[in-house]
Amino acid sequence: MTGPVEPLPQPTAPVRTDEPGGTRKNLLLAPTEEEPPLRADAARNRTLLLDAASRLLSGCGAAELTMDSVAAEAGVGKGTVFRRFGDRAGLLIALLDHREKQLQAAFLSGPPPLGPGAPAAERLHAFGPAVLRHEYDHHPLILASRTDPLRAYAVPAYRLRVNHVAMLLRQTKAPGSPELLAHTLLGSIEAALVHHFTVERGMPLECLEDGWHHLVDRLTAGA
């Protein structure tokens, strides 16, 4: 298995990204789900529960992770877990949130070519493999969290990915709708598809990376 995205410091302010025409756009680190600000005690409880869930995940995997088991591991009532996360899908998404923010920090403010400072086409080429390896390393957890097939498109983290890729496509002056092309590119490295090719069909991860590079080359060739 390839290694996960290395942790990077998270920006403390909105990341400003150049757009064509000299305009500038703020891209914020986005959680996988929208969360209201937490009181200090609520934040401690959330951390306690996520630490307990992480221990269970390491021991038994996502399939055996339940609200009951998390409550027992954390030493709290099951109702506390439901109040904090709503349902099992909400719990699993919260577990992904930390790693997702590290990935976001890498492409929003990390070193080039993934982060700012490289030409847009180079950043596109670097973005796909970074997301692909993130999806590959976490695909059991990602797939287990998806009880609603439409939910993945609505979460802020996915919208941030779309906006980022669309921005880079506009900077390369690729023909076509930047948003539609961004969804198409991201669809080629979506977690379920990555799982299908790598686990069920035994395809090397490098083949999927090559596919991303071919798509980017074709979309930006006429720019």
Residue among 112, 114, 95, 93 at smallest CA distance from 103: 114
Helix 78-85, helix 67-74: angle, nearest 10: 110
pLDDT of 36 reads 58
Query: When comparing pLDDT for 220 and 11, which is higher?
Result: 220
DSSP helix/strand/coil, 45: helix
pLDDT at position 156 over 70:
yes
pLDDT of 149 reads 73
pLDDT of 18 reads 44
Alpha-carbon distance of 206 to 2, in angstroms, equals 10
**What's the CATH fold of domain 88-223?**
Tetracycline Repressor; domain 2 (1.10.357)
Domain ranges across the chain: 37-86, 88-223
Identical fold for domains 37-86 and 88-223, yes or no, is no
pTM metric for this prediction: 0.67
What is the DSSP annotation of 129-174? HHHHHHHHHHHHHHHHT-SSTTHHHHSHHHHHHHHHHHHHHHHHT-
pLDDT of 63 reads 72
Mean pLDDT of the 26-54 span: 70
pLDDT at position 19 over 70:
no
Reported as a pLDDT band with limits 50, 70 and 90, residue 65 is: confident
pLDDT of 119 reads 96
Residue 115 CB contacts under 8 Å (≥ 6 apart), including other chains? 106, 107, 108, 109, 123
pLDDT of 73 reads 93
Q: CATH for 37-86?
A: 1.10.10
Which two tokens mark 27? 């891209």
One-letter amino acid for residue 46 of the chain: R
Mean pLDDT of the 169-195 span: 94
Return mean pLDDT, the chain: 81
Query: When comparing pLDDT for 142 and 172, which is higher?
Result: 172
Partnered with residue 17 across adjacent β-strands are: 25
